[in-house]
């Protein structure tokens, strides 16, 4: 029987290596085996520098620099830092010196934790992309707002009422753009942290779709560009109305911005819920690109058309918060078809 402590160690998401005070490997968990490629059977009982020869960016040996038996007797923690193995993979490594007795005693064991450096680098790049995107998207509208308001304040009497109205409308539109960006960023934060709340009520999805279309028409799109197809007998749907509006609005905007021809919205009953498809007649999305569509900052080949690249990522998060799924595929008449399905049934209020 495997000891309970071994099961707990192997369940840890991070790699773990345990050595004695001399650097002899006592235990290696599954995550450490996966990260380093060194089987536990080959590592246990060997010197750590023999099986896990960690080096820093300057090629220095990490274990020798660690010197568990040297230094202050109060030292117990070694900060995380990026290190390399001979294969070239980067790992973020931290250590704890376990002393007996705990205060001022000799080092009995060294516990070493490993994290995937590639995953950390991707996360940091994602955060850098977010900062860059936010800075870029905010700079243009804020520059416009500042420029027009400064001009109006300095030269109010020199402009006609029509000129003032045009300038104020521009300021208003740019302020709306900033508000939308901030809302998107808050949604991304809630989705990534798992703090997205769903407030369910009975929602008439076809009525919400008609409302979204009416908004696009009021904004200047021709009415005949949109087509709504609805099943006659839809089940009752308990959903978050605001989030359904956001999902439909983002998908329709995506079809208008990146597609061509008629935008068709199909709402139909399926086995376990209701499916909503939004189709356009544009170029569509290549099958190999489909897995990337719902990632942050994905804009395909349409960067010139604007947008932050966060809309579809948010849509996926909102659909999944309802317990649903979303896919993208080729529409029957060409173009792209985004199809999301949400479950029906009365929620449990207990």
State the pairing for strand pair 226-230/263-269.
parallel
DSSP string, 223-276: GGGEEEEE-SSPPP-EE-HHHHHHHHHHHHHHHHHH--S-EEEEEEE-SSEEEE
Does one domain contain both 325 and 217? yes
Range of the domain at 70: 15-117
Q: For the domain that residue 159 is a member of, what is the CATH number?
A: 1.10.287.130
d(CA 270, CA 292): 26
**Residue 175 buriedness (CB in 10 A; 0-12 / 13-18 / 19+):** middle
CA atoms within 13 Å, Cβ hemisphere of 317: 22
Closest listed residue to residue 81, CA positions, set 58, 101, 98: 58
Query: Is residue 213 in some structural domain?
Result: yes
Number of domains, the chain: 3
Does one domain contain both 210 and 328? yes
d(CA 280, CA 264): 6
Does one domain contain both 173 and 267? no
Dig out the tokens for 284 from the structure: 């569509």
Sheet holding 336-343, edge to edge: 226-230, 263-269, 273-279, 336-343, 325-330
Q: For the domain that residue 113 is a member of, what is the CATH number?
A: 3.30.450.20
CB atoms within 10 A of CB 34: 12
φ and ψ of 80, to 5 deg:
-65, 140
Closest listed residue to residue 108, CA positions, set 96, 121, 93: 96
Beta-bridge partner residues of 273:
343
DSSP string, 118-185: HHHHHHHHHHHHHHHHHHHHHHHHHHHHHHHHHHHHHHGGGS-HHHHHHHHHHHHHHHHHHHHHHHHH
Query: Is residue 2 in some structural domain?
Result: no
Question: Would the pTM of this model clear 0.85, i.e. be above it?
Answer: no
Domain boundary among 85, 117, 149: 117
Residue-level pLDDT, tens digit, the chain, 350 residues = 444 444 578 888 899 999 999 999 999 999 999 999 999 999 999 999 999 999 988 889 999 999 998 888 888 999 999 899 887 778 999 999 999 988 889 999 999 999 887 666 666 666 676 677 677 677 878 888 899 999 999 999 999 999 999 999 989 988 887 887 788 778 877 887 778 888 899 999 999 999 999 999 988 899 999 999 999 889 989 999 999 999 999 999 989 988 888 999 999 999 888 999 999 988 888 877 777 888 876 666 544 445 567 888 889 999 999 999 999 998 887 889 999 999 987 666 54
Q: For the domain that residue 250 is a member of, what is the CATH number?
A: 3.30.565.10
């Amino acid at each position: 029987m495997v000891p309970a402590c071994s099961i707990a160690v192997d369940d840890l998401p991070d790699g773990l290596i345990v050595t004695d005070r001399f650097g002899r490997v006592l235990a290696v968990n599954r995550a450490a085996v996966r990260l380093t490629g060194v089987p536990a059977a080959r590592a246990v009982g060997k010197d750590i520098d023999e099986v896990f020869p960690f080096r820093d960016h300057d090629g220095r040996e990490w274990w020798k620099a660690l010197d568990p038996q040297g230094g202050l007797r109060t030292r117990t923690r070694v900060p995380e830092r990026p290190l390399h193995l001979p294969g070239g993979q980067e790992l973020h490594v931290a250590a704890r010196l376990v002393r007996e007795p705990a205060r001022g005693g000799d080092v009995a064991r060294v516990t070493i934790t490993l994290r995937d450096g590639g995953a950390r680098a991707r996360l940091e790049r994602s955060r850098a992309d977010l900062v860059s995107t936010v800075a870029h998207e905010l700079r243009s509208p804020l520059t416009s707002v500042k420029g027009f308001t400064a001009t109006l304040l300095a030269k109010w009497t020199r402009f006609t009422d029509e000129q003032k109205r045009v300038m104020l409308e521009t300021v208003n539109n740019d302020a709306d753009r900033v508000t939308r960006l901030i809302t998107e960023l808050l949604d991304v934060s809630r989705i990534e942290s798992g703090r997205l709340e769903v407030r369910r009520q009975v929602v008439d999805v076809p009525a919400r779709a008609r409302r979204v279309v009416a908004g696009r028409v009021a904004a200047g799109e021709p009415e005949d560009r949109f087509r709504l197809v609805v099943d006659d007998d839809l089940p009752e749907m308990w959903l978050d109305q605001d989030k359904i509006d956001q999902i439909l609005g983002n998908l329709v905007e995506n079809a208008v911005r990146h597609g061509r021809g008629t935008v068709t919205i199909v709402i139909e009953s399926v086995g376990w819920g209701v499916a909503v498809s939004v189709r356009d007649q544009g170029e569509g999305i290549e099958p190999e690109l489909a897995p990337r569509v719902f990632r942050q900052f994905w804009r395909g080949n349409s960067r010139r058309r604007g947008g932050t690249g966060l809309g579809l990522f948010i849509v996926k998060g909102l659909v999944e918060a309802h317990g649903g799924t979303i896919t993208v595929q080729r529409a029957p008449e060409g173009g792209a078809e985004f199809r999301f399905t949400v479950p029906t049934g009365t929620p449990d209020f207990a």
